[in-house]
């Protein structure tokens, strides 16, 4: 295989400020903060770190500020082995920061200061084309600006890359028509139930899935259902719900990012192994990925196992104080699943 990286994520890397509180304040109220923790975060950044710990080769493309937080964010990637060639230092804006109050039940609120990550431009994507070309998969995350995500998605055929996307609530609110130029190039969509409803307009998951396949290029949809678990849809096929693993919850922040990491690692590692038995020749990696999905759809237990690994990774995440504090290795996930059969 001519790709040196498995997955490159494009999106935001932020510094999270996690405040533990006993309860959330009412309007014009004040509550004490019992502890305060600074930790690297950002949805796609969390997922990329998670995938790296699960054994795949990854990179990250995004902007950070020319400040202490920016240094910490870049070092956090380097510490786990993420390729940081795609990081752009923004000298005019500070690094993004996210204030996250978390109550005693592990539920959270999120207040975001956009900063440098949201100044990513489509010109940045073009400037990093040689970096992106290294990736088998380009994973698109949540940004307030869609132009760089659109640029990356539209360049994917030229770069010979598969495209996955976890849109987040901001992009989901644009609806699928507002994301059409991206979704016309996306192969794998990982999305929460709430985001899926926003994107396709119905409180009916089956109807939304049909609309997604009818109106976009997406081949595989994975929908997380919060405490119920997750399920997948592939063209002409859908699954039962794979339940979550009940664990003590410390902080739900990053649970979806962890799920995406576990699911994608379990999906793309076998795909890479399958590629070794194929003659690429004139076929693109997108073509081969579609062929792989068709092959695996004959044994749907494979996709259920991917869901299980996503749920297990998320179970580790919610037991940590911050989204990356408890990210597991592949061996840890495998043993956890075996112990909880």
Q: How many residues does the chain have?
A: 341
Does pLDDT of 279 surpass 80?
no
Q: What is the pLDDT of residues 100-130, one digit of tens each?
A: 998 988 888 989 999 999 999 999 999 999 9
Q: Which of 288, 304, 260 is nearest to 54 (CA)?
A: 260
Q: Angle at the Cα of 222 (from 102 to 230), degrees rounded to 5? A: 55
CB atoms within 10 A of CB 4: 12
What CATH number was assigned to the domain covering residues 5-14+43-95+117-339? 3.40.1190.20
pLDDT band, very low/low/confident/very high, at 235 (cuts 50, 70, 90): confident
The domains of the chain are located at 5-14+43-95+117-339
Residue labelled with tokens 């500070």: 94
Query: Is the separation of the CB atoms in 146 and 171 below 8 Å?
Result: yes
Q: What is the pLDDT of residues 11-20, one digit of tens each?
A: 999 999 999 9
Q: Enumerate the H helices of the chain as residue ranges.
A: 43-53, 68-80, 122-127, 129-132, 147-159, 168-172, 175-178, 180-183, 193-200, 205-215, 255-275, 285-297, 301-317, 330-339
Residue labelled with tokens 């990250």: 60
Q: What is the pLDDT of residues 44-98, one digit of tens each?
A: 999 999 999 999 999 999 999 999 999 999 999 999 999 999 999 999 999 999 9
Strand partners, 99: 17, 111
pTM, full prediction: 0.95
Identify the burial level of 206 via C-beta atoms within 10 angstroms of its C-beta, where 0-12 means exposed, 13-18 middle and 19 or more buried.
exposed
């Amino acid at each position: 295989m001519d790709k040196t990286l498995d997955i490159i994520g494009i999106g935001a890397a932020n510094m999270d400020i996690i405040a533990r509180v006993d309860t959330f304040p009412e309007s014009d109220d004040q509550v004490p903060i019992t502890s305060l923790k600074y930790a690297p975060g950002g949805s796609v950044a969390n997922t990329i770190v998670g995938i790296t710990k699960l054994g795949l080769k990854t990179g990250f493309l995004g902007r950070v500020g020319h400040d202490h937080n920016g240094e910490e964010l870049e070092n956090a990637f380097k510490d786990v082995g993420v390729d940081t060639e795609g990081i752009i230092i923004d000298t005019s804006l500070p690094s993004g920061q996210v204030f996250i109050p978390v109550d005693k039940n592990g539920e959270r609120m999120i207040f975001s200061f956009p900063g440098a990550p949201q100044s990513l431009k489509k010109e940045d994507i073009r400037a990093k084309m040689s970096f992106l070309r290294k990736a088998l998969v380009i994973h698109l995350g949540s940004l307030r600006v869609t132009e760089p995500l659109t640029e990356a998605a539209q360049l994917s055929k030229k770069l010979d890359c598969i495209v996955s996307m976890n849109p987040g609530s901001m992009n989901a609110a644009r609806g699928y028509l507002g994301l059409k130029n991206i979704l016309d190039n996306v192969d794998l969509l990982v999305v929460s139930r709430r985001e899926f409803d926003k994107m396709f307009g119905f409180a009916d998951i089956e109807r939304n899935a049909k609309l997604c396949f009818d109106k976009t290029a997406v081949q595989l949809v994975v929908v997380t259902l919060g405490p119920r678990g997750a399920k997948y849809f592939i063209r002409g096929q859908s699954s039962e719900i794979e339940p979550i693993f009940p664990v003590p919850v410390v902080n739900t922040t990053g649970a979806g990012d962890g799920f995406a990491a576990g699911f994608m690692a379990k999906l793309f590692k076998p795909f890479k192994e399958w590629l070794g038995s194929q003659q690429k020749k004139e076929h693109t990696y997108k073509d081969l990925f579609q062929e792989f999905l068709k092959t695996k759809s004959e044994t749907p237990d494979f996709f259920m196992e991917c869901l299980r690994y996503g749920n297990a990774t998320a179970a580790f995440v919610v037991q940590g104080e911050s989204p990356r504090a408890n990210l597991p290795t592949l061996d840890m996930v495998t043993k956890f699943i075996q112990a909880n059969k």
